[in-house]
Amino acid sequence: MNATSGLARRLCALAMLTAAGGLLASACADNESSLFVRMRMARTGDCTVTCSPDEEFWTADSVDSAYRNSHSATLLVGNQIVRRGDSDVLRTETSRVQLYEAEVRITDIAGNPVEGADGASGYVVPVTGIVDPGSSDEAGYNCTEVLLIDGATMDVLRDQARASGRPVEVISTVLVRGRTLGGQEVETAEWSYPIQVCFNCSACINTDPPDCCNPATAENDPDACGDVDKEIVGSCSGQVGVVDCRTLGKSCGDYLAER
């Protein structure tokens, strides 16, 4: 083999390696587009959610830290992986994605990390849900519940909101991970969502008879709460609204005094 042919082979191998690297880079890029967070589903009426891109969604949340120890939201996740199942040749569908965890980090509106009471500026939480592949040009969708603010971070934000007397604005950034039934690891690009955290900005209602007795207590001792027949009112998670003292098991004032 002469020097010219040897050089040609080396150049060919280098070209193939470069092309393979390009394919790998493309695969990595497609990995984030295969799975994606579409939106935060709205909770209205009886606080239920319908998992569809055509349903109502929210663009920001407001949370009263006086009555919430953490904050979760229902996110709509899309799957754009091409279907691979074929009943004619008995090939099973491997493009369904099983969601298994979400990585969350919280920052202020300037982008600075917000550390929780445990000193961590982020956390990983388990999630559930299977997202089917789409059909034609449409993605498949399903919902998953994600902890947008954990308890340790909420403790810090509660202290800040109480001390300042005004809401604290933060951004919760989420990355959802999943695994196809064929064993391929996929994850979404980062999805960011604004949340306003206040302290005692909800309307807390004391009910008659006194003691704002918890309905669970009334089940064990019917005389403990007197004749409470009014329906318990409240607001959906992600909205500041009305707090019924019966959900607290004590009067609004007694509850706040302990926060």
Q: How far is CA 27 from the centre of its chain?
A: 26
User: For the chain, how many residues are written?
Assistant: 259
Could you read off the pLDDT of 15-50 as tens digits, one per residue?
443 444 443 333 443 456 789 999 999 987 788 898
Nearest Cα neighbor of 40 from 189, 174, 158, 152 is 174
Nearest Cα neighbor of 125 from 148, 142, 109 is 148
Q: How far is CA 213 from the centre of its chain?
A: 33
Residue matched to tokens 């001792």: 221
Run of H or E including 187 = strand 185-187
The residue ranges of every structural domain in the chain are: 35-198, 203-257
Could you read off the pLDDT of 68-108 as tens digits, one per residue?
999 999 999 999 987 654 444 445 568 899 999 999 999 99
> Residue 63: its pLDDT value, please?
97
Could you read off the pLDDT of 200-236 as tens digits, one per residue?
999 988 876 555 666 565 555 655 555 555 676 678 8
Question: Residue 187 forms beta bridges with which residues?
Answer: 177
Burial class (CB in 10 A: 0-12, 13-18, 19+), 67: buried
Question: Residue 61 forms beta bridges with which residues?
Answer: 195
Q: Which residues are within 8 A (CB) of 242 and not within 5 positions of it... i.e. 6 or more apart? A: 202, 203, 204, 205, 233, 234, 235
Looking at residue 212, the DSSP 8-state letter turns out to be G
Nearest Cα neighbor of 155 from 193, 204, 106, 103 is 106
User: 78-87, 124-133, 149-158: which has the minimum mean pLDDT?
Assistant: 78-87
